[in-house]
Structure 1
Amino acid sequence: MRFGPAALSLSLALGLTASIGQADDRAPNPRAAMLISEGKSALAAGQPQKAIDAFEAALTVDPAHTPIYLDLAEAARREGLQGKAIRYYRDALKRDPENLAAISGEGEALVEKGAIEKARLNLSKLKSLCGNSCEEADELATAISRGPQPQVLRAEAVMPDAQVTQN
C-alpha cells in the first residue's frame, strides 16, 4: 500500500516517455508544420542559420516529430556544424533506429569531419538494412569515395599578431 503512489507515478512517467518515442509516423502539429516549411524555404534560399532557428522552434512546438531532427541536421551541416548535425542524426536514430536517411546523413557528416572509418560502419549498416540498391547507401558510398573536403580558411582565422614598436 505504501508503494502505490510511487508505482503509479513511475508507470505514468514510463507511459508518457513511451508515447513520445512512438509518435513519429503522424503528421506534425500545424504550427510546427508552418515552421518546418519556413525552415525548408530558408534552407533553399541559402540561409541555414534562419532555417536552424525555424526548425528549433518547430522542435519546441512538436518534440515528438522525428523528421524535424533530420531537417535540423541538414541545416547544421550546411552551416558547417558537423558535430551538431551528428548529434541531431543520433537523436533521430534513438527514436527510429532503422531510419535510413538518419544513418546516411550521419555517415556523410562523419565523412565531412574526416571520420571515414565510422562512416564505413554506417555504410555497412545501411547495406545490411536495405541492400546495395538503396539510394541512401549510394549517396553515402559516393561521399566516402569523395572523402573529406578541405576546410576553407576564413579571414577571421588569420589575424596578424599584434606587435608593439617603440617610436
Structure 2
Amino acid sequence: MRFAPAAAALSLALAMTASITVGQTRDPDPRAGVLIAQGQSALRAGDTQGAIDAFESALAVDPGYTPTLVYLAEAARADDLQGKAISYYREALARDPHNIAAIAGEGEALAEKGALAKARLNLAKVQSMCGDSCSETRELAAAIAQGPRAPVLTAEANIQPQPQTN
C-alpha cells in the first residue's frame, strides 16, 4: 500500500514520456532549415555534391532531425551511390521505423542495385502503410519494374588482356 502512490507516479511519468516521443514531428533548427533548403535547390539544379555538403551541414547543426537523413540518401542516389543511400535510409528507419519515404527510398536504391527481392519486401511494407494509390508506392513499383541501373565500369575493369605472340 505504501508503494502505490510512488508506482502510480512512476507509471504516469513513463506514459507521458512515451506518448511525447512517439510520433512527434518537429521543425528543424532554423539554421538547419536554411541548409536543407539550399541542399534541395542544389539537388534540383543537378549539383549533387553541393546538395550532399548542405545536407551534411544541416545534419551537423541538427543531428536529431531525421528527414535530413532521407534528403542525404536522395542526394547519394542521385550521385549513383546507392550503397551509401541505403545506409542513410536505414539510419533514418532506425530512428523512425514507420517513415514511408525512407522505406520507399531504400526499396528504390535496392532495386537500382539489383536486389529486387528485397525491394519487393519494401514495396509490400509501403503498400500496407499507404495503399496502392500513394506516390511512394507508385515510384517504388516503377523502380522495381525498371530493374537495376547499368553498372559503372572503371578503367581497370575495361582493360582486356592482349594475347602474347612469341
TM-score, structure 1 as length reference: 0.77
Distance 1:55 1:151 in 2: 26
Give how far 1:67 is off: 0.9
Distance 2:60 2:23 in 1: 15
Residue 139 of structure 1 pairs with residue 139 of structure 2 = yes
Distance 1:131 1:33 in 2: 30
What is the aligned partner in structure 2 of residue 120 from structure 1?
A: 120
Indicate the SS of the match to 1:25.
coil
Residue 69 of structure 1 pairs with residue 69 of structure 2 = yes
Distance 2:131 2:44 in 1: 31
Report runs of 4+ in structure 1 exceeding 3 Å deviation: 21-24, 152-161
Alpha carbons 1:24, 1:66 under 8 Å: kept? no
Indicate the SS of the match to 2:46.
coil
* CA 1:22–1:69: 2 relative to 1, 3 Å: farther
Alpha carbons 1:24, 1:65 under 8 Å: kept? no
Distance 1:119 1:77 in 2: 15
Residue type of the alignment partner of 2:146: R
C-alpha distance after superposition, 1:92-114 (max 9, x if no partner): 11121111111110000001111
Distance 1:55 1:156 in 2: 32
TM-score, structure 2 as length reference: 0.77
* CA 1:151–1:23: 2 relative to 1, 3 Å: same
Distance 2:160 2:145 in 1: 37
Give how far 1:153 is off: 3.5
What is the aligned partner in structure 1 of residue 150 from structure 2?
A: 150
Residue type of the alignment partner of 1:138: R
What is the aligned partner in structure 1 of residue 4 from structure 2?
A: none
C-alpha distance after superposition, 1:108-127 (max 9, x if no partner): 00011110000000011111
Distance 1:124 1:23 in 2: 22
Give how far 1:147 is off: 0.6
- Farther-moved stretch of structure 1 (59-68 vs 125-134): 125-134
Residue type of the alignment partner of 1:95: R
* CA 1:37–1:86: 2 relative to 1, 3 Å: same
Distance 2:93 2:62 in 1: 17
Residue 90 of structure 1 pairs with residue 93 of structure 2 = no
Give how far 1:88 is off: 0.7
Distance 2:58 2:24 in 1: 14
- Farther-moved stretch of structure 1 (143-152 vs 108-117): 143-152
What is the aligned partner in structure 1 of residue 53 from structure 2?
A: 53
Give how far 1:151 is off: 2.2
**Unmatched tracts of structure 1, length 5 or more:** 1-17, 162-167
Residue 111 of structure 1 pairs with residue 111 of structure 2 = yes
What is the aligned partner in structure 2 of residue 3 from structure 1?
A: none
Give how far 1:158 is off: 4.0
Give how far 1:23 is off: 8.7
* CA 1:104–1:83: 2 relative to 1, 3 Å: same
